[in-house]
Amino acid sequence: MRANLIANVALTDEIAKRRTFGIISHPDAGKTTLTEKLLLFGGAIQKAGAVKSSKITDHARSDFMEIEKQRGISVATSVMGFNYRGKKINLLDTPGHQDFAEDTYRTLTAVDSVIMVIDCVKGVEIQTEKLMEVCRRRDTPVLVFINKLDREGRDPYDLLDEIEGKLNIRVHPLSWPIGMGKRFKGVYSLYERALHLFEGSKLTLSEGYKIADIHNEELVSLIGDNEAAQLREDVAFIDGIYGALDEEAYRRGEVAPVFFGSAVNNFGVRELLDCFLDIAPPPIPRETESRLVHPEEKGFSGFVFKIHANMDPRHRNRIAFVRVCSGTFTRKKPYLHTRLNKEFKFANATAFMAQDKEVIDVAYPGDIVGLYDTGNLKIGDTLAERELGLYKGIPSFSPEIFKEVINLDAMKSKQLDKGLKQLMDEGVAQLFTYELGSRRVVGTVGALQFEVIKYRLEHEYGAKCNFAPQKIYKACWIESPDKKKLNAFVDSKYRHIARDKDGKLVFMAESKSWLQMVEENFPEINFHFISEF
Ligand code: G4P
Separation of alpha carbons 173 and 155, rounded Å: 14
State in Å: Cα 142 to ligand 1 middle. Answer: 21
Dihedrals phi, psi of 280, to nearest 5 degrees: -70, 145
State in Å: Cα 120 to ligand 1 middle. Answer: 12
- Are β-strands 113-119 and 18-25 bridged in parallel, bridged antiparallel, or unpaired? parallel
Among 523, 482, 528, smallest CA distance to 505 is for 528
Query: Which protein residue's CA is at the shortest distance from atom 19 of ligand 1?
Result: 30
pLDDT value at position 53? 44
**All structural domains of the chain with their residue ranges:** 2-279, 286-384, 401-528
State in Å: Cα 30 to ligand 1 middle. Answer: 5
Give the start-end residues of each E strand in 73-166: 79-84, 87-92, 113-119, 142-147
Pocket test for ligand 1, best of 24, 33, 120, 187 (most atoms within 8 A of CB): 33
Separation of alpha carbons 506 and 499, rounded Å: 6
Among 129, 69, 138, smallest CA distance to 107 is for 138
Beta bridge partners of 143: 115
State in Å: Cα 244 to ligand 1 middle. Answer: 32
CA 264 to chain centre: 22
Q: Is 152 helix (H, G, I), strand (E, B) or coil?
A: coil
List, for the chain, all residue ranges whose pLDDT scores fall below the cut of 70: 1-7, 44-77, 96-97, 200-210, 212, 310-316, 352-357
Q: Which CATH number fits domain 2-279: 3.40.50.300, 1.10.10.10, 1.10.3720.10, 3.30.70.20?
A: 3.40.50.300
The structural architecture, per CATH, of the domain 401-528 is 2-Layer Sandwich (3.30)
State in Å: Cα 26 to ligand 1 middle. Answer: 12
Separation of alpha carbons 465 and 318, rounded Å: 23
CA distances from 96 to 14, 143, 292, 352, 379 (A): 31, 19, 32, 20, 20
How do residues 485-496 score in pLDDT, each as one tens digit? 999 999 999 999
Separation of alpha carbons 5 and 330, rounded Å: 18
Query: Which protein residue's CA is at the shortest distance from atom 36 of ligand 1?
Result: 52
Query: Which protein residue's CA is at the shortest distance from atom 31 of ligand 1?
Result: 28
336-371 exposure pattern, b = at least 16 Cβ within 10 A, e = fewer = bbbeeeeeeebeebbbbbbbebeebebbbbbbbbbb
pLDDT value at position 111? 96
State in Å: Cα 351 to ligand 1 middle. Answer: 29
Beta bridge partners of 350: 359, 370
The DSSP call for residue 530 is B
Burial level of 493, CB count in 10 A (0-12/13-18/19+)? middle
Query: Which protein residue's CA is at the shortest distance from atom 30 of ligand 1?
Result: 28
CA distances from 482 to 222, 467, 478, 479 (A): 70, 37, 12, 9
pLDDT value at position 359? 76
Query: Which protein residue's CA is at the shortest distance from atom 4 of ligand 1?
Result: 28
pLDDT value at position 446? 82
State in Å: Cα 196 to ligand 1 middle. Answer: 22
Query: Which protein residue's CA is at the shortest distance from atom 27 of ligand 1?
Result: 148
CB 444 within 8 A of CB 432: no
Among 508, 519, 499, 415, smallest CA distance to 462 is for 415
Q: Is 482 helix (H, G, I), strand (E, B) or coil?
A: coil
State in Å: Cα 116 to ligand 1 middle. Answer: 15
State in Å: Cα 50 to ligand 1 middle. Answer: 14
CB 117 within 8 A of CB 24: yes
pLDDT value at position 206? 47
Give the start-end residues of each E strand in 65-174: 79-84, 87-92, 113-119, 142-147, 170-173
- Phi/psi region, residue 85 (left: phi>0; alpha: psi -120 to 50; beta: rest), is left
In this chain, the answer to whether the domains covering 286-384 and 401-528 adopt an identical fold is: no
C-alpha angle 263-26-134 in degrees, rounded to nearest 5: 120
Pocket test for ligand 1, best of 25, 26, 28, 118 (most atoms within 8 A of CB): 28
CA 126 to chain centre: 16
Neighbours of 279 (CB within 10 A): 18
pLDDT value at position 204? 42
pLDDT value at position 417? 94
Per CATH, the number for 286-384 is 3.40.50.300
Query: Which protein residue's CA is at the shortest distance from atom 14 of ligand 1?
Result: 28
C-alpha angle 391-395-400 in degrees, rounded to nearest 5: 165
Ligand 1: atom nearest CA of 25 is: 3
Separation of alpha carbons 258 and 402, rounded Å: 39
Ligand 1: atom nearest CA of 262 is: 23
CA distances from 431 to 264, 496, 533 (A): 41, 14, 19
State in Å: Cα 119 to ligand 1 middle. Answer: 10
Separation of alpha carbons 397 and 206, rounded Å: 44
State in Å: Cα 58 to ligand 1 middle. Answer: 13
pLDDT value at position 46? 60
Among 129, 163, 131, 127, smallest CA distance to 145 is for 163
pLDDT value at position 193? 87
CA distances from 322 to 164, 186, 240, 356 (A): 34, 41, 45, 17
Separation of alpha carbons 100 and 419, rounded Å: 20
How do residues 146-203 score in pLDDT, each as one tens digit? 999 999 999 999 999 999 999 999 999 999 999 999 889 889 999 988 888 887 555 4
Separation of alpha carbons 177 and 312, rounded Å: 49
Among 371, 352, 212, smallest CA distance to 305 is for 371
Query: Which protein residue's CA is at the shortest distance from atom 7 of ligand 1?
Result: 30
Site residues for ligand 1, CB cut-off 6 Å: 25, 27-33, 55, 96, 147-148, 150-151, 262-265
Dihedrals phi, psi of 355, to nearest 5 degrees: -105, 10
- Are β-strands 170-173 and 255-260 bridged in parallel, bridged antiparallel, or unpaired? parallel
